[in-house]
Amino acid sequence: MWKNLFAEFIADLRLQKLRASLTIIAITWGTFAVILLLAFGEGLGNRMLEGMLGAGNQVMILYPGQTTINHEGLGVGRPIRFVEEDVDLIQNSVPHIAFISPQYGRWGIRLKTDAAATSTYGEGVNPGFEDMRTMYPASGGRFISERDVTEQRRVVFVGNELAARLFPGENAVGKSVLVDDMPFTVIGVMQPKLQTSMNNGPDANRIIIPHTTFRNMYGNRYLGSILIRPTSPEHQLEVKAAVTDLLARKYKFDPTDKNAIFVWDFIEQENISRKVSAGVTIFLFVVGLFTLLIAGVGVANIMYVVVKERTREIGVKKAMGARNRHIMAQFIFEAISISALGGLFGLLISWGIVAFILSLNLNDGAGQFLGSPVISAEAIYLTIGTLSLIGFLAGVFPARKATKVQPVESLRYE
């Protein structure tokens, strides 16, 4: 049966070369549009998420503020100030915390080497900062360690762009740099990363030193912020509430006072970003789907023409005992085959274009976001399912018309 269906399909293609070719081209274009739009949509969503995670990977950053609600007889406008002891208090009192780090910050730190001099933003943190802020070292280097913190070592981790300015054409690891006239040893240079969200400038242009060293150098009494990463995003709200209640008891402010402590929640932003990405993907799929539906109308039209031209043949088959399901199978098979053929061409063309764009390694400007399209398995399955449905619907209605042909009347058909 399948052999006969395939033979009839090939025969119809030869008889209807122009119409069949145009229909296949339409299906190819529709498939190409759907696949390519989904590929660029997913690539854009992935890069936007990557850029956001470049500033903070599932972290919450706590900034001190001032009270705006009267609490226990204390007036409004009281400043809240974090100290290093708060980090130990939170770590020992609140469960489900994977990483926590104090954070000092300072603008205008002067850096000088034999080759260059500049000023930048510097931070004093602990080793957990590496994972929380995705500041991973390039090959041959490392981030600050617990021993660096305990021994208050003069070691510095440098952003990749800053390292290129301070040590042009050289490997910065192991070299010396003056940090506000104090000699430090470079222990690592950050891997290049995409960063779309930031405070105090990009990580590529800052330095990181142990927070104990930072405190002793600059005499900071209060922290700029505290970074916390829960063990799982599911514990986000629990950890945030527990930390707020703990600090509210210590500093005597109302836990509902949103201005006493400001929380920059990257977990919440990540969820929003994923929803926006899903919305963009759905929109792009709908745009491509309309192109594919128009091509499906073309498949239906050509099948109606085939039914009309083969009316006598259908009548003869029915007179010889062919059942309706055999007649329907013939036309549905042809419609699905045309859709599959056009879909295959569209998929191959899309794959080739995506491979070409990826080979260009576009890493600057808009290329950072549009230069990384992704043809996912989900996009392929969705397109195949849509093509199958369109092919089936484009064939079933002409097939139903074919089954209504009366053998006697068909013999008189011209």
Q: What pLDDT was estimated at residue 413?
A: 47
Mention every residue, 6+ apart, whose C-beta is less than 8 A from residue 300.
Answer: 335, 393, 394, 395, 397, 398
User: What's the token pair of residue 265?
Assistant: 């929640």
Residue-wise pLDDT tens digits, 362-407: 766 666 667 688 888 888 888 888 888 888 888 777 777 766 666 5
Mean pLDDT of 88-108: 95
Of 10 and 33, more confident: 33
Cα separation, 222 vs 231, whole angstroms = 27
Q: What pLDDT was estimated at residue 391?
A: 82
Q: What pLDDT was estimated at residue 154?
A: 97
Lowest mean per-residue pLDDT among 60-69, 295-304, 395-404: 395-404
Q: What pLDDT was estimated at residue 405?
A: 60
Cα separation, 9 vs 134, whole angstroms = 57
Of 306 and 73, more confident: 73
Residue-wise pLDDT tens digits, 274-296: 888 888 888 888 888 887 888 77
- CB atoms near residue 247 (< 10 Å): 22
- pTM here is 0.77
Task: Indicate whether 108 pLDDT > 90.
Answer: yes
Q: What pLDDT was estimated at residue 155?
A: 98
Cα separation, 12 vs 330, whole angstroms = 11
Chain centre to alpha carbon of residue 321: 58
Mean per-residue pLDDT of the chain: 85
Mean pLDDT of 41-57: 80
Chain centre to alpha carbon of residue 236: 21
Mean pLDDT of 54-62: 86
Instruction: Identify which of 1, 26, 30, 7 has the alpha carbon closest to the alpha carbon of residue 334.
Output: 7
Best-predicted range by mean pLDDT among 115-119, 325-329, 362-366?
Answer: 115-119
Mean pLDDT of 122-140: 94
Confidence of residue 8 (pLDDT cuts 50, 70, 90): low
Inter-residue contact 208 to 245 (CB < 8 Å):
no
Inter-residue contact 204 to 195 (CB < 8 Å):
yes
Inter-residue contact 119 to 111 (CB < 8 Å):
yes
Compute the CA torsion angle 94, 99, 103, 109 (nearest 10 deg). 180
Residue-wise pLDDT tens digits, 158-206: 999 999 999 999 999 999 999 999 999 999 999 998 887 777 889 999 9
Cα separation, 232 vs 216, whole angstroms = 34
DSSP string over 269-291: HHHHHHHHHHHHHHHHHHHHHHH
Task: Indicate whether 235 pLDDT > 70.
Answer: yes
Confidence of residue 411 (pLDDT cuts 50, 70, 90): low
Q: What pLDDT was estimated at residue 382?
A: 85
Q: What pLDDT was estimated at residue 231?
A: 94
Mean pLDDT of 50-60: 81
Mean pLDDT of 58-79: 90
Task: Indicate whether 319 pLDDT > 80.
Answer: no
